[in-house]
Structure 1
Amino acid sequence: MNIITWNTQWCCGIDGLVSPQRLIEHARSMADFDVLCLQEIADNYPHLQGQAGLNQAAQIAALLPDFQVFFGAAVHRFTPDGQAQRFGNLIATRLPPLQVQHHALPYPADPGVASMPRMCTSVSVHTPHLGAVTIMTTHLEYYSHLQRSAQVEALRALLQQSTIQAQQPPLDSAEHAGTPFAPVQPAAHAVLCGDFNLSPTEAEYTRLQTAPDGGDEHWYDAWPLCQGQQAHTPTFRLFDRRYGPEPVSCDFFFVSQSLRSHVQSIRVDAQTQASDHQPVLLTLAL
């Protein structure tokens, strides 16, 4: 099972060209992916660099006719003349989807600091050998440490909630068949990926991999499961140093405890300049 995560910078490359097609073509060149997780997908933001004015989620769906595409708009606003503007995460899957959820992440007030609402988009898919696997993708706050820390706590809680739901599923009765109360196949396995806007040296990185009080499930960074003590390959500021002088790692894959033994490989494409972030490919042996 191949999964790619990529912060697309609204599909804007280092050259300033906005091209969902170029981005999808490059993702295909990396692997025959089963799931594609993208962050910073824009709809009607012509003032962004490169003029990301078109509905990029719809464009990507057209470029992936064999996939089902789910867009989670963390930002959904309207211009003074009533035109909708959306900005958020996207998951495309060719595996059969079972359930889609969009989790709004905490957005505590942090006066005087630039910020935007953030979301974790979650799609549970059916796999032939493991059953249901939940794929989550997110993009945490860049400027506000207060908000980013709160969002990390929410991601810890989401895994705990998912684990308990799988162990103690809702009531399944004939009278609820075909209604919203009918439960879906519980997902005992989970993957979390995206742009976390924090480095492996920060406290929040360790915090994300710490079990909540009263629980024993927590996220595991997939990189050291494959690479041991080798430092993460940088995923940001390789070609564009506007946000800092040195390349850093901030785009990660995390897995639930049940998937640790299934992590087969992980690699960063450090060559492409189709975005200001580098894509990451995770392969799970199912």
Structure 2
Amino acid sequence: MKLITWNIQWGLGVDGRLDLARLIDDAKSIADFDVLCLQEVSDNFAGLQANGGENQFAEIAALLPGYTAIEGVALDVPDGNGGRRRFGNMILSRLPVAQVLRHTLPWEADSTRNMPRLLLEAVVNAPFGPVRVMTTHLEYSSDKIRRAQVEGIREAHRMACDRVALPRENGPGTYARFPTARSAVLTGDFNMKPHDPTKLRLSDAYDNGVPALMDAWQVLNGADAHPPSFCLYDQTNGQPHCCDFVFVTEDLAPRASRIVYNQDIQSSDHQPVLLELTR
């Protein structure tokens, strides 16, 4: 299974041009991906730089026919004209998709500039079995909120694994049970550097046998430094550093064969990350 995760900054490249088709073409140039996880997808947000207010969820879905397009709206606010403005994440999969969940992450009160965030989860049927693919975009300005959001992610993962251990009764209609798994991949823009204690908390062991979430870069490269994934071509928000990560559960770690932080593409202010899992 080939998976790419990317904060696309609503398709705005470092050259100031917004071009979703270019961005999807760039993703395809990295790999013939099975799953694409995106952050910072917008709908009706004409106030964003170079953004005309288009529904990017629909546009990206149209650019990838044959993929199941899953929306994860974290921010949903009125536009003042009877419509809605939406902002969040997407998962696109050409592998069969079972149940989809949208976890609203904890949103603690804080005086910093902040906004609601979401963990989007989809069970995809990989060649080696069902995998829960999760993607998120954590708070930028507040460590307090990020800490709470990390606990929310850990709790969502724990509950999913508990539901595998104790399956619910199957039933008709809305009670129908679909495949799920303890195996999971977690991706996204975590707005933390590799050695941030809050980022490291994501990989802490559980006390009930739930498989821990392991940083796939470290699984394959040990203590080698993560390549930069942000501010590589534009240092407005700081010096180049890594804040985009892919985690795999312990059982999937032996399947991790390659992880690549692309350093060349400039169709967003973040760099895309490719993970390959073997059969």
TM-score by length of 2: 0.97
Residue 69 to residue 216, structure 1, CA distance change in 2 (3 Å): closer
- 1:173-193 deviation per Cα after TM superposition (whole angstroms, max 9, x unaligned): xxx23x111211121310000
Kept in 2, the 8 Å contact 1:156–1:208? The answer is yes
Amino acid in the other structure paired with 1:266: I
Matched, 1:158 2:151: no
Kept in 2, the 8 Å contact 1:2–1:282? The answer is yes
Kept in 2, the 8 Å contact 1:156–1:212? The answer is no
Matched, 1:247 2:240: yes
Kept in 1, the 8 Å contact 2:211–2:251? The answer is no
**Partners in 2 of 1:87 and 1:9 — Cα distance?**
11
- The match for 1:63 is 63
Amino acid in the other structure paired with 2:227: T
CA drift of 1:214 comes to: 4.5
**Partners in 2 of 1:151 and 1:202 — Cα distance?**
14
Secondary structure of residue in 2 paired with 1:73: strand
Matched, 1:118 2:117: yes
Q: What does 1:41-56 align with in structure 2 at a 5 Å threshold?
A: 41-56=41-56
Residue 225 (structure 2) aligned to one of 226, 231, 235: 231
Amino acid in the other structure paired with 1:90: M
- The match for 1:97 is 97
- 1:89-116 deviation per Cα after TM superposition (whole angstroms, max 9, x unaligned): 00000000001111100001102x1001
Residue 257 (structure 1) aligned to one of 250, 259, 266: 250
State the Cα RMSD in Å.
1.1
- The match for 2:262 is 269
Secondary structure of residue in 1 paired with 2:144: helix
**Partners in 2 of 1:263 and 1:215 — Cα distance?**
21
Calculate percent identity across the aligned residue pairs.
44
**Partners in 2 of 1:169 and 1:280 — Cα distance?**
34
CA drift of 1:208 comes to: 0.7
Amino acid in the other structure paired with 1:33: F
Kept in 2, the 8 Å contact 1:22–1:274? The answer is yes
**Partners in 1 of 2:182 and 2:157 — Cα distance?**
10
**Partners in 1 of 2:232 and 2:198 — Cα distance?**
23
Kept in 2, the 8 Å contact 1:6–1:280? The answer is yes
Matched, 1:190 2:184: yes
- The match for 2:34 is 34
Count of residues in correspondence between the two structures: 279
Amino acid in the other structure paired with 1:284: L
Secondary structure of residue in 1 paired with 2:174: coil
Residue 200 (structure 2) aligned to one of 192, 206, 214: 206
CA drift of 1:54 comes to: 0.5
Amino acid in the other structure paired with 1:243: N
Matched, 1:222 2:216: yes
**Partners in 1 of 2:210 and 2:63 — Cα distance?**
41
Kept in 2, the 8 Å contact 1:10–1:41? The answer is yes
CA drift of 1:165 comes to: 1.3
Structure 1 portions without partners, runs of 5+: none
**Partners in 2 of 1:231 and 1:161 — Cα distance?**
32
TM-score by length of 1: 0.95
CA drift of 1:215 comes to: 4.8
Structure 2 portions without partners, runs of 5+: none
Secondary structure of residue in 2 paired with 1:266: strand
**Partners in 2 of 1:188 and 1:15 — Cα distance?**
41
**Partners in 1 of 2:180 and 2:267 — Cα distance?**
37
